[in-house]
Homo-oligomer: A and B are copies of this chain.
Amino acid sequence: MKIIIAGAGAMGSRFGIMLHKGGNDVTLVDGWPDHVNAIKENGLKANFNGEDITVNIPVMLQSEISAGEKADLIILFTKSMQLDKMLQDVKPLIAPETKILCLLNGIGHEDTIEKYIPMENIFIGNTMWTAGLVGPGQVKLFGSGSVELQNLGKNQEDSAKQLAQVLSDSGLNAKYSDNIHYSIYRKACVNGTMNCLCSILDVNMAEFGATKPAHDIVVTVVNEFAAVAKHEGVDLDVKEVVEHVESCFDPETIGKHYPSMYQDLINNHRLTEIDYINGAVARKGKKYGIPTPYCDLLTQLIHCKEDILEAK
């Protein structure tokens, strides 16, 4: 199968390597020249569960795509704010029957994708796999994970199941979901609390969880996500989701980690995905007439931090 990985950062590289090893015709596309050049020159290097491997996968700088063999499948793995540009850049590789699988964090990406792709070819999902970027052309891939995905177009359930099978054939442990928006909102609640609050307060998840107001803040934010999700027909179990979010506080498991937004913003002074997490809920809330003041203020505070740190 001809597969384009559009956004070949840590997670895109994991999917690229595993699908390539599984016998697919994979091409990586990315916007970071150093990374693309390193892969071109030396191959994609990975520490894969402790073993150092080098994989030779074709790679293209997204700005240099002019024409090429059309893809059967494009898997989107950009940062949220780079999604629109990526879709514009990979256009030459899209045929009328090319399927698009969006595995980005955050919510509301279908609104962007719809502008470029007919609905029956769009599939969205989320993944529990992890991956780390060590440097240009180099990633670290540990542990196991899974993927859930669903068709957005009507009567495309079989295509979604086939797509899950393609991923599973390469060890990606994917399955069809009949309620992917539930999973996406549930995951967004984790990102919509841990990411912004740890970044604003300059703490890891366990340290935030140890503050007295943490629980009340989490409950209020999750309720805002739930109110907006409900308007879209997704009925979050708030109590269960709050417990799921608060499992991140445990210092014995992942509590001592700093969320990705913290690493982006506080450590590396990079712009964040806040507009696609709390900011998306705030926008949707405005559209639906649902107040989302905590998401509004958390989004504003993260944008303040971006300005203060001159994030790029």
- A residues within 8 Å of B by Cβ? 197, 200-203, 207-208, 210-214, 216-217, 220, 291, 293-294, 296-298, 300-301, 303-305, 307-308
Contact = CB atoms under 8 A, between A and B. Distances in A.
A212 B297 contact: no
21 contacts: A197-B304, A200-B200, A200-B301, A201-B304, A201-B308, A202-B202, A203-B308, A207-B308, A208-B304, A210-B307, A213-B301, A213-B304, A214-B304, A217-B297, A217-B301, A220-B297, A291-B293, A293-B294, A293-B297, A294-B297, A297-B298
A211 B297 contact: no
Chain A interface mostly: helix
Contacts of A214: 304
A210 B308 CA distance: 8
Contacts of A298: 297
A81 to B, nearest CB: 16
A307 B200 contact: no
A201 to B, nearest CB: 5
A214 B305 CA distance: 11
A214 B203 CA distance: 23
A210 B303 CA distance: 12
A305 B207 CA distance: 10
Contacts of A296: 220
Contact of A212 (B201, B220, B294, B303): B303
Nearest to A299: B213
Contacts of A203: 308
Contacts of A207: 308
Contact of A217 (B202, B217, B300): B300
A203 B308 CA distance: 8
A171 B212 CA distance: 45
Which of A212, A214, A293 gathers the greatest number of chain B CB atoms within 10 Å?
A293
Nearest to A306: B211
A307 B202 CA distance: 13
Name the 10 nearest CB pairs between A and B, nearest first. A293-B293, A213-B300, A211-B307, A211-B304, A213-B303, A213-B304, A297-B297, A201-B304, A217-B300, A294-B297
Nearest to A210: B307
A308 B203 CA distance: 8
A147 B305 CA distance: 37
A120 to B, nearest CB: 39
Contacts of A294: 293, 297
A176 B305 CA distance: 43
Contacts of A202: 202, 308
A293 B298 CA distance: 11
